[in-house]
Amino acid sequence: MRDKTHMEQVERWALFVKNHKRSEWIKHVKPLIDSQINMADRFYQKLKKQKNGMEKIRRLKERD
Amino acid sequence: MAVNRSVSDKTLLDKFVEDFTAVVGRHCKYVVVSGFVAIAHGRSRGTEDVDLIVEKIGVKEFEALFKDLAKNGFECIQPGTPEEVYTDYLLEDASIRFVRKGSFVPEMELKLAKDPLDEYQIKKRVRLPLTGLNVYYSSIETNIAFKEEYLKSDKDLEDARHLRIIYAGKIDEKEVIKIKKMIKRYRLR
């Protein structure tokens, strides 16, 4: 269980989103989301090149 | 309602979901559910997959959808012909996953509606203008109910709290209670 400061931060951010236009809050969120996708894909592409890479990816994906 | 905005303010996830659902929407009714609903409302977290429920289509309709997705650059991770994938996974109430060809993430996790609760979500599907995306979602009440009553992880409870703040004063609490009762009936028996 995360401590209560984590939920407090979630609430602060939700209030920011609620009180600002999408064009404002997306500037903060887009780099995070795009980076996460790009980094994850880069990782899988590297893993694919390893010996038994596709099998490792399959096993990783099965855990999701 | 089409959304007219510049491409640059959409995330990679946004574009993936819009492109994928544009194809699906030509073949059947669908709803985007769960984590992406909160993320599309500005929730500050990542995800590698997006959950999609489609109405219970037959194998022929699925074959046409499958081929249209392939034509538009999406590939199914599960091996086999469309008919095999339909029989081996979808008819078994398992989900199948699609990615853009050559990529590993994000993934679209697609499943057929399996019970009256899924059918209800599709029946009550909505566009959510605050997300800025031209996509059908399950209702905010449905997402809150699932996250508070069924999923319940820290991440899910935070998603629900985020949505409750964004839609404060606009949430139909009777509808949330109704869906929680349906969850107990169809998912927690």
| Tens of pLDDT, residue by residue, chain B (189 residues) | 444 444 568 999 999 999 999 999 999 999 999 999 999 999 999 899 999 999 999 999 999 999 999 999 999 999 999 999 999 999 999 999 999 999 999 999 999 999 999 999 999 999 999 999 999 999 999 999 999 999 999 999 999 999 999 999 999 999 999 999 999 999 998
Is position B183 within any domain? no
Is position B164 within any domain? no
Is position B17 within any domain? yes
Is position B53 within any domain? yes
Is position B133 within any domain? yes
Give the predicted TM-score (pTM) of the model: 0.93
Is position B162 within any domain? no
Q: How far apart are CA A9 and CA A11, in angstroms?
A: 5
Closest residue, chain A, to B8 (C-alpha): A30
Contact (Cβ atoms closer than 8 angstroms) between residue B111 and residue B52: yes
Q: How far apart are CA B97 and CA B30, in angstroms?
A: 15
Contact B12 A37 (CB under 8 A): yes
- Kindly provide the ipTM of the predicted complex, given to two decimals: 0.89
Closest residue, chain A, to B10 (C-alpha): A30
Q: Identify the domain containing residue B48 by its residue range.
A: 11-139
Is position B18 within any domain? yes
CATH code, domain with B119: 3.10.450.620
Distance to chain A for B61, nearest Cα, Å: 27
Q: How many domains does one find in chain B?
A: 1
The DSSP 8-state label assigned to residue B51 in this structure reads E
Domain edges within chain A: 21-64
3-class DSSP state for residue B98?
strand
Contact B105 A40 (CB under 8 A): yes
Contact (Cβ atoms closer than 8 angstroms) between residue B142 and residue B172: no
Is position B73 within any domain? yes
Distance to chain A for B78, nearest Cα, Å: 10
Tens digits of per-residue pLDDT, B129-160?
A: 999 999 999 999 999 999 999 999 999 999 99
Q: Which of B11, B95, B103, B156 to mutate to test the interface with A (most CBs of A within 10 A)?
A: B11
Angle at B69 between CA B65 and CA B73, to 5 degrees: 170
Q: How far apart are CA A7 and CA B158, in angstroms?
A: 7
Question: In percent, how much of chain B has pLDDT > 90?
Answer: 94
Q: How far apart are CA B119 and CA B167, in angstroms?
A: 24
